């Protein structure tokens, strides 16, 4: 397969490394703010306004939006969907993904992560380095599961949530949409939408009245 990566930040570096480790062809990168001709050994193909031209040149190309911020990633994906692009996925060879697990388009799975039996991971989600997703977990679209997160069985994560580095979640808890769980926190009870929760056990420290 041939890929076009959107983004030239640190997150994009990791995704490019994953694609290279998998032996995939990378046509180049897109970025709205990069004025260089080359980045990380790849040609810079322009900004998002070049998508139609690129689809004509490379009709079989798959796109991956390599942006770590959930909100920005969702916005760019929406723009690309309007241009009817096709999205790919990327999973590092060291990742362990159960045959019964489901991975949505545009999602990336970083090195040494584990996704166990009957887990569901939605579209354009990040399973970052060495995160573990146990059986029957459900992770919705545009989520970021940070490095070293450990999710026990049956955990549910709402769309656009961000689970901070090293956090742990006990079996069956749910984290609401757009909620942020702080680094090294331990989630032992359900968390609502649009909050920030930190600590062990994780407690809500801020509620967003209107994130829209």
137-163 burial string, b = 16+ CB within 10 Å, else e?
A: bbbbbbbbbbbbbbbbbbbbbbbbbbb
Active-site pick, 11, 135, 150, 162 = 135
28 in a labelled binding site: no
Q: Does residue 162 carry a catalytic annotation?
A: no
Report residue 155: phi and psi, to 5°.
Answer: -75, 145
Torsion of CA 73, 159, 1, 17, to 10 degrees: 60
158 in a labelled binding site: no
User: How far, in Å, CA of 21 to CA of 39, rounded?
Assistant: 18
Sort strands 86-87 and 203-207 into parallel, antiparallel or unpaired: unpaired
DSSP reduced 3-state for 34? coil
DSSP reduced 3-state for 55? helix
Nearby residues of 178 by Cβ (< 8 Å), 6 or more positions away: 158, 159, 160, 161, 193, 194, 208, 211
Cα–Cα distances (Å) from 10 to 17, 87, 118, 203, in that order, read 11, 20, 31, 30
124 in a labelled binding site: no
Please enumerate, by residue number, every residue annotated as part of a binding site for acetyl-CoA. 144, 165
Catalytic positions are 135
Q: Mark the binding-site residues for substrate, compressed into ranges.
A: 68
The annotation places the binding site at 68, 144, 165
């Amino acid at each position: 397969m041939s890929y076009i990566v959107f983004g030239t930040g640190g997150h994009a570096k990791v995704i490019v490394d994953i694609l290279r480790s998998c032996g995939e062809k990378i046509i180049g990168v897109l970025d709205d703010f990069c004025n260089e001709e080359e980045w990380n050994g790849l040609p810079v193909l322009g900004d998002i306004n070049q998508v139609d031209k690129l689809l004509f040149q490379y009709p079989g190309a798959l796109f991956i939006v390599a942006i770590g911020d959930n909100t920005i990633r969702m916005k760019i994906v929406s723009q690309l969907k309007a241009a009817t692009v096709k999205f790919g996925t990327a999973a590092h060879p060291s990742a362990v993904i159960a045959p019964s697990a489901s991975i949505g388009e545009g999602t990336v799975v970083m090195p040494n992560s584990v996704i166990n039996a009957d887990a569901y991971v939605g579209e354009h989600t990040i399973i970052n380095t060495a995160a573990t997703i146990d059986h029957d977990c459900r992770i919705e679209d545009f989520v970021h599961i940070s490095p070293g997160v450990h999710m026990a069985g049956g955990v549910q994560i709402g769309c656009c949530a961000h689970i901070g580095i090293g956090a742990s979640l006990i079996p069956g808890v749910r984290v609401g949409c757009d909620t942020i769980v702080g680094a090294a926190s331990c989630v032992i009870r359900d968390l609502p939408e649009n909050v920030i929760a930190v600590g062990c056990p994780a407690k809500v420290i801020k509620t967003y009245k209107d994130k829209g």
